């Protein structure tokens, strides 16, 4: 009887463990050939699958087109649509040759409806020509460290074998773009109205990103894509409890589910922990800096519960110089750094500033002392 109970108990434990693994496997089920999930603010990779492999990317190309248009400072300029733009194949805003339209409206049409005609019109206006704009795209990719990326057009159509990127590179690009407020607004817009020059009613563009419009409540934006050679591609962003995520899938038959599963996995598994706090630094051993140094920006990092003990913060300060007591104006603005280690590898260095208030108080004290000394000297000896 005792043996039977033991067997039953072991069987119960086995079933329980299998259920746990099944839930975890379901949470991480990804249909995509290539995929990545990263923390937008720190760049930490939370999940990856062939993330650095060069792949066709289809219309998620337009994230680069959009951010370059926004950064050009020309959103309020009027674009004259060329015949070349109008003849571009694939998804379209149905622009007309010679039509005049604001660049900002084109960027909304590009991101919400994936207009290939809009992509070419934007490229010609911002880059001077389509070829000139492609040069700017590749230059920006190099600046951002997108090492497995090369652009051949502003829309992502399969008209060149030399147009590719990786899931990781597109995550880098999207994290960068999401730091731009205008891009955030455009990518997160569900419906946009643009003037229609030939009709009494406005054009109404509804976002193709179903995660944003109806499938996922924490979605904040993204870009869809599809060509026969690339398959379904998708970049999306989501935020919850001060954690901002970027997911990228390339050639994913079930991309909506992939992204939801990835986001839910991250929100369930990681917590954004503040490792370096903003404000006065009180963890220092050096009495000279006591009450005189601050950190201007806190640093948070997505952490699993079992990883907390693997982090440590080290404070490294400039050794105070003797002349600083007499000449506080010589004290540098940055006097040290908080170094964050994870598994003994440096993941962040946060500057430590000498408090302006402390510096000003000492400077005014020295000035007052000089005036007082001069005044006493005049009265005693003048």
The rounded Cα 20 to chain-centroid distance in angstroms is 32
Q: Which of 34, 59, 82, 175 is the catalytic position?
A: 59
Both tokens of 83, joined, read 């015949």
Rounded CA-CA distance 37/29 in Å is 13
Rounded CA-CA distance 190/208 in Å is 8
C-alpha pair distances (Å), 310 with each of 113, 349, 365: 45, 17, 45
Q: Which residues contact residue 261 at a Cβ distance below 8 angstroms, ignoring those fewer than 6 apart?
A: 26, 27, 28, 29, 30
223 is in an annotated binding site: yes
Q: Which of 34, 82, 114, 165 is the catalytic position?
A: 114
Q: Which residues contact residue 124 at a Cβ distance below 8 angstroms, ignoring those fewer than 6 apart?
A: 79, 82, 84, 85, 130, 133
74 assigned to active site: no
Asked if residue 63 lies in contact with residue 173, where contact means CB atoms within 8 angstroms, the answer is yes
Enclosing H/E stretch for 246? strand 243-250
62 assigned to active site: yes
Give, in degrees to the nearest 5, the angle at Cα 22 between 270 and 245: 30
Rounded CA-CA distance 58/142 in Å is 20
Q: Which of 34, 62, 219, 337 is the catalytic position?
A: 62
Q: SS3 for 38?
A: strand
Rounded CA-CA distance 279/187 in Å is 34
State the binding site.
223
Catalytic residues: 59, 62, 114
State the binding site for substrate.
223
């Amino acid at each position: 009887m005792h043996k039977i109970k033991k067997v039953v108990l072991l069987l119960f434990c086995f079933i329980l463990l299998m259920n746990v693994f099944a839930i975890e496997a379901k949470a991480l089920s990804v249909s995509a050939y290539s995929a990545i999930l990263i923390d937008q603010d720190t760049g930490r990779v939370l999940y990856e699958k062939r993330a650095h492999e060069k792949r066709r990317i289809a219309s998620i190309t337009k994230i680069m087109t959009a951010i370059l248009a926004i950064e050009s400072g020309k959103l309020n300029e009027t674009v004259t649509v060329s015949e070349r733009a109008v003849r571009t194949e694939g998804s379209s805003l149905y622009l007309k040759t010679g039509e005049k339209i604001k660049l900002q409206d084109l960027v909304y049409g590009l991101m919400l409806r994936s207009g290939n005609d809009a992509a070419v019109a934007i490229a010609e206006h911002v880059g001077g020509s389509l070829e000139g704009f492609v040069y700017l795209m590749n230059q920006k990719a190099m600046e951002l460290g997108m090492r497995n990326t090369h652009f051949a057009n502003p829309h992502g159509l399969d008209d060149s074998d030399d147009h590719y990127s990786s899931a990781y590179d597109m995550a880098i690009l999207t994290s960068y773009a999401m730091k731009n407020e205008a891009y955030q607004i455009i990518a997160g817009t569900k419906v946009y109205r643009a003037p229609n020059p030939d009709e009494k009613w406005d054009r109404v563009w509804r976002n193709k990103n179903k995660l944003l419009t109806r499938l996922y409540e924490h979605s904040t934006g993204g870009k869809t894509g599809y060509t026969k050679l690339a398959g379904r591609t998708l970049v999306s962003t989501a935020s919850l409890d001060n954690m901002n995520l970027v997911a990228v899938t390339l050639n994913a038959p079930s991309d909506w589910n992939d992204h939801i599963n990835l986001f839910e996995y991250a929100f369930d598994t990681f917590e954004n922990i503040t490792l370096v706090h903003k404000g006065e630094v009180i963890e220092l051993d050096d009495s000279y800096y006591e009450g005189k140094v601050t950190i201007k920006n806190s640093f948070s990092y997505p952490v699993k519960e079992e990883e907390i003990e693997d982090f440590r913060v080290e404070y490294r300060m400039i050794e105070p110089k003797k002349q600083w007591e007499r000449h506080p104006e010589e004290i540098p603005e940055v006097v040290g750094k908080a170094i964050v280690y994870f598994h003994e590898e440096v993941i962040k260095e946060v500057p430590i500033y000498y408090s302006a208030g402390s510096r000003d108080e000492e400077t005014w004290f020295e000035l007052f002392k000089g005036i007082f000394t001069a005044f006493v000297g005049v009265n005693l000896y003048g």
